[in-house]
Structure 1
Amino acid sequence: MSSFTSLLFSCAAIAAFLILLRRWRYRRLRLPPGSLGLPFIGETLQLISAYKSDNPEPFMDRRLNRYGLVFTTHVFGEPTVFSAEPEMNRFVLANEGKLFECSYPGSISNLLGKHSLLLMKGNLHKKMHSLTMSFANSWIIKDHLLVDVDRLIRLNLDSWSDRVLLMEEAKKITFELTVKQLMSFDPDEWTENLRKEYVLVIEGFFTLPFPLFSPTYRRAIKARTKVAEALTLVVRERRKGSESDGNRKKDMLGALLASGEQFSDEEIVDFMLALLVAGYETTSTIMTLAVKFLTETPLALAQLKEEHDQIRSKSKTGAPLEWSDYKSMIFTQCVVNETLRMANIIGGIFRRATTDININGYTIPKGWKVFASFRAVHLNPNHFKDARSFNPWRWQNNSEATIPVNVYTPFGGGPRLCPGYELARVVLSVFLHRFITIFSWVPAEEDRLVFFPTTRTQKRYPIIVKRREESSPCI
């Protein structure tokens, strides 16, 4: 017993010494103001509970009001500096691969896989990022993706009647579009089963990465295994097909198999799994919030409806959208810009300091994480008048040209700029065109959609829809 007590005492003494040493070093370095919270846990529980509530803003708002635009906290097991300062965010983005490296919470990293684009570094990341952008640029969209986007959106809307859970339907649309882009699969039972497993994977992103203590994370790990197994079978079948007939489909999987890089099945599966996340969760959020914001802003909805009715009047009934139709959606782009600003398709990015960094009079210690919050900048009234109000007219007359590039960053920036940024804008524009010209709608009930929908606790934004040919508009 005495030896055990001595060992316990020694461990406690060593831990206390390390804590004191850490505090002494941090005091010397002049950290940004803030609090590290409880030992080990830090302020993770406050962040997660805010994220899963109806309004996650107070986590940032309280600390910004108390400490300023840059503050220290401790989340997901690591000390982290949060930044809502545009110049500091630009500095972080510009020094990717130099002073900072990509780093995300363990829950996200484990579920995405070590070969995901989000976690790649160096030359491999540059090569794969370029490849991904080449499959979602304006030329590719104009050449053949627009046809698939329009067709799949119409296919989904054709099945709508009466009460619709808009967020769920938007997620089905974006998942099917992404599967089509990655693997050339049209919607069927297989894709729907894959999507259901995917939902469980995404639920595990913002949880503590300990299966023993988190049933949500445990379910996410099991679902991730099932998704990986399903994608692996597809990759192996495509390998056999490409070897036997020499034909290559015009999708991302075909490009990976023909790249000459000799990627393993695991590498390709991790890569595609992460792209499915990017296409599924983010775009569906802005689609749902665009409808919510427009419903609450009748003047914007009326102007948007007029624009799309004019486009519709110039084409035959049932005709697919042309690239020229998309380019004529002038006010639509104002709505898209404003929705992206408020919905924040990329709320922020995590990076890790590779050395002690002095900035704005503070020091970020080597090994610490930095979270550059784009969302906090977009919602700051110092940058946008009435920042938390939906106002698409603020973007008229090309007024966005006067906004500093580091203030409006809905798709991130630097070497890790979201490779699907052009496609996301097109998908939202086409969805709005079809939705507005086909349906009139009203909210189904008093059901306030959370400002930033989360996976498990989101309101699904039910609406009552009627086809415009069948009745007068509800709105």
Structure 2
Amino acid sequence: MVMEQYYNFHPITLLFGFVSFLAISLLVLFNRHRSQFTGNNLPPGNVGYPVIGESYEFVSSARKGHPEKFILDRVNKHSSQVFKTSLIGERAAFFCGTACNKFLFSNEKKLVQVWFSSSVNKIFRSSTETSAAEDANKTRKMLHNFLKLNALQRYFGIINQCTQSHFADSWENQNEIHALELAKNYTFKLAARLFVSLEDKADIEKLSKPFRAVNAGTISLPIDFPGTLFSKAIKAANLIRKDLYKIIKQRKVDLAEGNASPTQDMLSHMLLTCDEDGTYLKESDIADTILGMLVAGFDTLSAELTFIVKYLGELPHIYDAVYKEQMEIVNSKAPGEPLKWEDLQKMKYSWNVAQEVLRMAPPVQGNFREALTDFVFNGFTIPKGWKLYWSANLTHMSADCFPEPEKFDPSRFEGKGPAPYTFIPFGGGPRMCPGNEYARVVTLVFIHHLVTRFRWEKVFPDEKTTVAPFPTPDKGLPIRLYHHQK
């Protein structure tokens, strides 16, 4: 009888004990999580669940096409331009508005520094001795010399020729295309040509296949387990490095034998340029830099070009004004005369349109900094090591910065343009994207060849946009093309 009672009661006892243990463990975990966010004068805010924090809400808002909603909801709730949260396991504070942008951008390497997630460090680190942030700081001066305007002028003929070839091969003789996919193909081929002089279609295709895996893994959860996107990205990055090492070694030989030009592309520039200490970059650093530049320019620039197609297709009066400006350039030339560097200066309205696209759909939604020391801002204490996020969307869609922010209005950029620290698609301060001039040149050349060849309309007029993390039309922006008579 005693044994029977024991066996009838024992499973319940075990279950009760397990539930109690689980509840106590979760309570301890929650308390430990929240204790990391306590202290004097910390910003207001919620910190969500352990490890996850508010990551789901942040990502969900972006996937619904309104990344600024996550921020605005909390700014309104806490009546503060600075609030705390927890993202991807990190203690974080959001800095919202122009004053916050100015503070972060002007205190680079003083109070804050750029911060990359562990996934970026694991995919792009060229050694265990340096972080992605340190590698980026070391190479950005070198990249600036290659990407500044007078250097880009040297490569303008290549940019124009590659753009002409892209439209001839992929758009001509087509009645319907997917703008997003073709924009990605175009930006990758152009970057491969300018960075490492790849022109052979088979070589470009070989490089692009693993590259897409790297792109997907960079924005995934950093779980290095076989079969995950992150694990595939690490393997794909290593495959790309092997190919880049071969290209680098061959270029060294070609440069030594006079079979390659010092100004041929970014690779030659990086091999022949030393830093202020007279030190040249290692092959691993060069390979990682080129890989990083391909990733940085691939989704950001292709997203911008895609949304230029989207807005020009939706707004006939904007298209007509751009077309008029571009045809004035065409009509000023002799038959067969190519586009020239000087023509870019005549594309003022076209660039205003492109900037308004960047305002409405910034490819980079924002970015992180890391506090180098404890400091006080707006009366709140920000502890050393906290991650600080600035948002392009928030100021771009603020009525205080841009009246009627939902309205597409290129005239915002006439004259002196927007106030400082309100228009920040390329960031700001010392850490402003070094590829901003490259993006401007490529964008204007793309617009010229696009509108002088076609009109178009969207196949799905109400196609939605998600942000994950780049703005993306849900269906890839299919459009019907109407060729201009020649």
Q: Could you say whether these structures have the same fold, taking a TM-score greater than 0.5 normalized by the shorter chain as the test?
A: yes
Instruction: Write the deviation string for residues 282-332 of structure 1: whole angstroms up to 9, x where unpaired.
Output: 111111111211222221111111111111111234432112211111211
Partner of 2:368: 350
Following superposition, the deviation at residue 353 of structure 1 comes to 0.8
Match of residue 410, structure 1, among 425, 430, 433: 425
- 1:131 has 2:142 as partner: yes
Distance 1:114 1:390, change over 3 A: farther
% same residue: 29
Give the AA of the match of 2:162: L
Cα distance in 2, alignment partners of residues 207 and 370 from structure 1 = 20
Match of residue 444, structure 1, among 459, 464, 470: 459
- SS of the residue corresponding to residue 30 of structure 1 reads coil
Conservation of the 8 A alpha-carbon contact between 2:61 and 2:67? yes
Distance 1:109 1:174, change over 3 A: same
Match of residue 119, structure 1, among 125, 128, 132: 132
Following superposition, the deviation at residue 273 of structure 1 comes to 0.7
User: Runs of 5+ in structure 1 lacking a partner?
Assistant: 1-8, 471-475
Distance 1:318 1:44, change over 3 A: farther
Conservation of the 8 A alpha-carbon contact between 2:401 and 2:419? no
Partner of 1:300: 318
Instruction: Write the deviation string for residues 376-424 of structure 1: whole angstroms up to 9, x where unpaired.
Output: 111111110111221112222x140xx3321122211122111111111
- SS of the residue corresponding to residue 242 of structure 2 reads helix
Distance 1:120 1:243, change over 3 A: farther
- SS of the residue corresponding to residue 385 of structure 1 reads coil
Partner of 1:146: 156
Instruction: Write the deviation string for residues 95-144 of structure 1: whole angstroms up to 9, x where unpaired.
Output: 111211221222223223257999343xx7555222211112221222x2
- The aligned runs of 1:36-435 (5 Å cut-off) are 36-67=47-78, 68-114=80-126, 119-121=132-134, 128-142=139-153, 144-159=154-169, 160=171, 161-186=174-199, 188-212=201-225, 215-245=228-258, 247-250=260-263, 251-260=265-274, 261-396=279-414, 398-400=415-417, 403-435=418-450
- 1:461 has 2:477 as partner: yes
Conservation of the 8 A alpha-carbon contact between 2:44 and 2:84? yes
Cα distance in 1, alignment partners of residues 366 and 327 from structure 2 = 36
Following superposition, the deviation at residue 246 of structure 1 comes to 7.0
Cα distance in 2, alignment partners of residues 126 and 205 from structure 1 = 20
Conservation of the 8 A alpha-carbon contact between 2:142 and 2:273? no
- SS of the residue corresponding to residue 158 of structure 1 reads helix
Following superposition, the deviation at residue 347 of structure 1 comes to 2.3
Distance 1:313 1:457, change over 3 A: closer
Following superposition, the deviation at residue 29 of structure 1 comes to 2.4
User: Runs of 5+ in structure 2 lacking a partner?
Assistant: 1-19
Conservation of the 8 A alpha-carbon contact between 1:334 and 1:395? yes
- SS of the residue corresponding to residue 441 of structure 1 reads strand
Comparing 265-274 with 44-53, greater Cα deviation is found at: 44-53
Distance 1:246 1:316, change over 3 A: closer
Cα distance in 2, alignment partners of residues 181 and 114 from structure 1 = 22
Distance 1:229 1:52, change over 3 A: farther
Comparing 410-419 with 50-59, greater Cα deviation is found at: 50-59
Give the AA of the match of 1:32: P
Distance 1:219 1:23, change over 3 A: closer
Cα distance in 1, alignment partners of residues 326 and 392 from structure 2 = 31
Following superposition, the deviation at residue 49 of structure 1 comes to 3.5
- SS of the residue corresponding to residue 352 of structure 1 reads strand
Following superposition, the deviation at residue 215 of structure 1 comes to 2.1
- SS of the residue corresponding to residue 257 of structure 2 reads helix
Cα distance in 1, alignment partners of residues 425 and 95 from structure 2 = 16
Cα distance in 2, alignment partners of residues 399 and 451 from structure 1 = 32
Comparing 274-283 with 452-461, greater Cα deviation is found at: 452-461
Partner of 1:4: none
Following superposition, the deviation at residue 343 of structure 1 comes to 2.1
Conservation of the 8 A alpha-carbon contact between 1:304 and 1:331? yes
Larger radius of gyration: 2
- SS of the residue corresponding to residue 28 of structure 1 reads coil
Instruction: Write the deviation string for residues 402-458 of structure 1: whole angstroms up to 9, x where unpaired.
Output: x33211222111221111111111111111111000112111234615164657984
Distance 1:425 1:452, change over 3 A: farther
Match of residue 41, structure 2, among 30, 35, 53: 30
Comparing 162-171 with 243-252, greater Cα deviation is found at: 243-252
Give the AA of the match of 1:371: Y
Distance 1:317 1:107, change over 3 A: farther
User: What's the RMSD between the two structures over aligned residues?
Assistant: 2.9
Conservation of the 8 A alpha-carbon contact between 1:36 and 1:74? yes
